[in-house]
Amino acid sequence: MKKRPVRALVAKAGVCAGSFSMFASSVVLRLSSKIKAKWPATVSGADATLPHESRGRQGFWEKAVRLQASASNPPPPHAAKTAAQALALLEAGNQRFVARAPQTEAQGQAPYAVVLGCSDSRVPIETIFDQPPGRLFVVRVAGNFLNEDNLASIEFSVAVLKSKLILVLGHSSCGAIEAAVAHVNDGTTQPGYIQDLVAKLGPAARNVRADPGDWVANAVVENVKLNVAAMTGRSAIIAQAVKSGEVEVKGGVYDLRTGSVTFL
Ligand SMILES: [Zn+2]
């Protein structure tokens, strides 16, 4: 299989340094052979067998952040420079929320849909679907894939809360998918638990490796499809609910540039 240059791949994917900066950074790190020669950025295969806490090189994150900042797509500045400032922003935001006397649904919830989405900060599920509290049962994990715990959460919403729709929502330029593609392409390995997550996205990256078009974009769609299928394949509760017509499972991809969701 022809090895596809990650530089071209990332450029095509329009990697912007968003909330998944760790992934994007490490992909960026792979791009420059000059930089790589001076400072190998990835964890070696041997390191990958070490305890998670022991993996990686000292200063990995600092250098990754510095490299990212010098990339062509610098990240937007943080709204807070310290944890204290971040907490203050959260407190102030919550006070504004309370001041609007929001509908908080304290008496109970009846979410009509479950959404399995990515943790990416640019894809806030309730916001992009313009939904108030109580309407959506949201499960988020980087790379929007099923694991035992989020599957349990989804089963709960279907079996107990009687949600009608399960939506697996991927998004463009997903850093987790980019990392999975980079791993499949040239063995790029992430430090810590990140690689465990990235490995779970490997099938999506591998399945579309030879497909025409943008590898990352294709893998985003493939990942959604795989997890839509896995929903009923792994959960007897969901499979039964689908069979009886109580719930349907759909997939979608959110476009970071336009804000629109394409349902598959
Ligand atoms: Zn993502």
Q: Please give the distance, rounded to the nearest whole angstrom, from the Cα atom of residue 170 to the centre of ligand 1.
A: 7
Whether 167 contacts 251, CB under 8 Å: yes
**SS3 label, residue 154:** helix
Q: 141: CA distance to ligand 1 center in Å?
A: 8
pLDDT at 83: 96
Could you tell me the pTM of the whole model? 0.77
| Residues forming a β-bridge with 263 | 252
What is the whole-number distance in angstroms between the Cα of residue 172 and the centre of ligand 1? 8
Ligand 1 centroid from CA 138, angstroms: 15
Neighbours of ion ligand 1 (CB under 5 A): 118, 120, 174, 176
Q: Strand, helix or coil at 140?
A: strand
Per-residue pLDDT of the chain (264 residues; tens, 9 = 90+): 445 544 444 434 333 333 344 454 444 444 333 333 333 333 334 344 444 544 443 334 444 444 454 556 677 889 999 999 999 999 999 999 999 988 888 889 999 999 999 999 999 999 999 999 999 999 999 999 999 999 999 999 999 999 999 999 999 999 999 999 999 999 999 999 999 999 999 999 999 999 999 999 999 999 999 999 999 999 999 999 999 999 999 999 999 999 999 999
Task: Provide CB contacts within 8 A for 113, sequence distance 6+.
Answer: 135, 136, 137, 163, 164, 165, 166, 167
CA gap 220, 178 in Å, rounded: 9
Domain ranges of the chain: 1-264
* 243 Cα to the center of ligand 1, angstroms: 30
3-state SS, residue 237: helix
Query: H-type helices in the chain, by residue range?
Result: 6-13, 21-31, 33-38, 60-69, 83-99, 125-128, 148-159, 175-186, 194-200, 202-207, 215-234, 236-243
Residues 203 and 207: their CA atoms lie apart, in Å, by: 6
Architecture, CATH, for domain 1-264: 3-Layer(aba) Sandwich (3.40)
Ligand 1 mean position, distance from CA 220 (Å) = 9
